Structure 1
Amino acid sequence: MMTTTLTSLGRMCASLTRPRVWSSAVSSTSLGDVLTPVSASADECPPPLANYSQAMQVNTNARLVFVSGQLGSRPDGSVAEDDPEEQARQCFRNVDAILKGANMGLKDVVRLSAFVTKREYLPSYMKARDDALREACAPGTTPPASTLMIVSGFSKAEFLVEVEAVAAAR
């Protein structure tokens, strides 16, 4: 049963289009100063299923910010009910606003953890994630490490997506 589920998820993820790579570092010119992408050799580990890095090493003298899970709540408290893509977009706006308080932004994200309440929300979340990071980051640079999980629910039933992040910068 588990093998069938994982195989189906793998096929679904593999069928998604992979957009252009974005930056997770302070800038594409200072990637080596703050971050080093890490990956296993192709004969030891399969490549990522979507547009993310297998791992990001944060080099010394970097500031780290750990952003708690953000839900799709707007500043006025409203939620785009039954719209996982809009909720994911709002999650990223919230993460970006919090990072601005540390003089950082989505361009500095080195690690994302995301949670959705239904498997069919994966493409909506991935589109919102890719759009948000593409808009914030320089083209042709490294995406953050990332995990995407399906969960049974959040604190309120109207929430469909949650995103937490780790950012690094000098």
Structure 2
Amino acid sequence: MKAIHTNDAPAAIGPYSQGIIVNNMFYSSGQIPLTANGQMVTGDITAQTHQVFKNLEAVLKEAGASFDTVVKATVFIKNMDDFASVNEVYGQYFSTHKPARSCVEVSRLPKDALVEIEVVALVK
């Protein structure tokens, strides 16, 4: 088991790592729209979702994985009315490769984020 850490994504805000590699699989912690220096991205669901994907890209890269090797994504959104907007951004990062995915509405996310995404990916 190997913990992943990169300064190109926000540090964990609790007692957990940015992700873990086990048996050539990378399991990310949920990423919220914090910048690498820990500032919350304000704005609409589109801006927040792009920041989440920027963070995911950084932890995937550090793990030796990429969006092309993601096998499963879990999306947590504060409001299901934002589903179409999240899908629009999501499709920009998963345009040809489409991993399995779940999307659930939750009552609240850390730091009152509008979206959080975690992924499982194959390490190259």
Structure 2 residue ranges without an equivalent (≥5):
1-22
2:60 is equivalent to residue 105 of structure 1: no
- TM-score, normalised with respect to structure 2: 0.75
Q: CA deviation at 1:106?
A: 1.1
Equivalent pair of 1:71/1:162 in contact (CA under 8 Å):
yes
Q: CA deviation at 1:80?
A: 2.7
Change (3 A) 1:156 1:169: closer
Taking the aligned partners of 2:42 and 2:28, their CA distance within structure 1 comes to 23
Taking the aligned partners of 1:81 and 1:153, their CA distance within structure 2 comes to 16
Write out per-residue CA displacement over residues 112-148 of structure 1, whole angstroms, 9 at most, x where no aligned residue: 00001011111111111111223xxxx4xx4100000
Secondary structure, aligned partner of 1:70? coil
2:116 is equivalent to residue 162 of structure 1: yes
Structure 1 residue ranges without an equivalent (≥5):
1-61
Task: Give the CA RMSD over aligned residues.
Answer: 1.5
Q: Which residue matches 2:41? A: 80
Aligned length: 102
Letter in 1 for 2:118: E
Percent same amino acid among aligned pairs? 27
Equivalent pair of 1:89/1:132 in contact (CA under 8 Å):
no
Superposition misfits of 4+ residues, deviation over 3 angstroms: none
Letter in 1 for 2:116: E
Structure 1 counterpart of 2:108, from 138, 150, 153 = 153
